[in-house]
Structure 1
């Protein structure tokens, strides 16, 4: 992810999140929580802007309302927060080192925390799903290797993803993939589309022509093409959650 300089650029959306901050049951992990469904939960695993990123909290609110789920957006960066104005401030972007940040928040460091939260949610809800953006997507695939942890996984423009993580998935999977993505490369896209259909799980690959890495969480809502894309991504995830969290 050292080349993912564009991961720290994008746009802040308008709106005020309506959820609350608390901790996930039986864990010390702080989380933004929205929704009231006690049976169906979605674990939203954030990108490098973390659990306080307003765009992701707004997405969580949409998922909670439109898919009738309770959404948990935990802090998986140990309290470290990147100010959202970094997206639009060249000076702050220049000061922020993506490789150093990822070094502090490696897979080995953070997956045990993610695993603990997933187990907690699964113990307290009848069905759970996970959705990840950029940094968070690899974790969804790792959770999806064990149906005892989640019932379905979705992700948008994944980063840090490995072929072994893709080939290990054992639950329904949805990928929201822009045309131009330097992290989810054409080779990884081809691998996912070749291998997942052989694994015996429902698979949905949603393609977004003309859009780029980060569009689903940081797209420009004032640009019609990008707005249409981010709304389609949101609607696709909502439909996915409805199908796999509310079916008998």
Structure 2
């Protein structure tokens, strides 16, 4: 198993529309306007400052008439965006040391606190997570007092029990090639979710790789098509439950 595909990808062009504020005790990018609906976006290892995550947040805010929050869950540590395409930076960045500093056990209290803060203010709250954010969304989904629905694309760091314990609607965006959401884990999720009694959706992307929905190559037709389908999937799913 390798974490190389968590490091690589493509940065996206565009100017984010939101502002930087606080959510609970975490710095956060905030975009959109609503008194009723909020979305917690849990980013991949590139975190809350990566242009891609902020542009995704802007899209969700606009299409769902919601406020979207992208918190810093990595204690201020920023993986330089040039690492996406720079082999030397990728070689120097130790993915497993980073994961140790940002384990689920260490970061769950912050994720939970952010969800609680949103639930205290908004009637409906959803969470969407990419890669590292996958485990966080599934763990939130075990507690309906924290969240109303979750979606995760190419999730990482989850355990089989996370699928058993969900109690709110769940969407899984699954690329064909993924070292984190493996064929075994995909099979288990498809076996476990029907037993939970929740509404759930599995969206399969043949020919796509881990990271396509948050770091895909938008200079190619395939990259654009995959990203746009993934965004539509999240927007349509949350549109039912927010």
For 1:215 and 1:132, the matched residues in 2 are separated by 13
Asked if 1:240 corresponds to 2:208, the answer is no
Q: How does 1:83-122 map to 2 (within 5 A)?
A: 83-122=80-119
From 19, 26, 31, give the equivalent of 2:28: 31
- 2:58 corresponds to which residue? 61
Count of aligned pairs between the two proteins: 242
CA distance in 1, matches of 2:103, 2:192: 26
- Moved segments of 4+, more than 6 Å: none
Q: Which runs of 5+ in 2 are unaligned?
A: none
User: For residues 111-146 of structure 1, what are the alpha-carbon distances to aligned partners after superposition, in whole Å with 9 as ceiling and x for unaligned?
Assistant: 001100000100100000000000011010100000
Q: How does 1:59-208 map to 2 (within 5 A)?
A: 59-208=56-205
Aligned counterparts of 1:244 and 1:160: Cα–Cα separation in 2: 25
Q: Report the Cα distance in structure 1 between the residues aligned to 2:196 and 2:107, rounded to whole angstroms.
A: 27
* Aligned-residue offset at 1:28: 1.6
Distance 1:91 1:64 in 2: 36
Give the distance between the partners of 1:93 and 1:167, measured in 2 at CA.
35
Shift of 1:83: 1.1
Aligned to 1:215: 212
Deviation at 1:82, TM superposition (A): 0.7
1:240 deviates by: 1.1
| Whole-Å separation in 2 of the counterparts to 1:54 and 1:83 | 12
For the residues of structure 2 that align with 1:107 and 1:178, how far apart are their CA atoms?
Answer: 23
In the alignment, the residues of structure 1 paired with residue 240 and residue 134 of structure 2 have an alpha-carbon distance, to the nearest angstrom, of 20
Q: CA–CA distance in 2 between the matches of 1:243 and 1:210? A: 28
**For residues 71 and 96 of structure 1, what CA distance do their matches in structure 2 show?**
29
Deviations 1:210-247 (A, max 9, x none): 000000000101111121011100011011111100xx
Alpha-carbon separation, structure 1, partners of 2:74 and 2:90: 18
Secondary structure of the structure 2 residue equivalent to 1:130: strand
- Structure 1 residue runs without a partner (length 5+): none
RMSD (Å), alpha carbons: 0.8
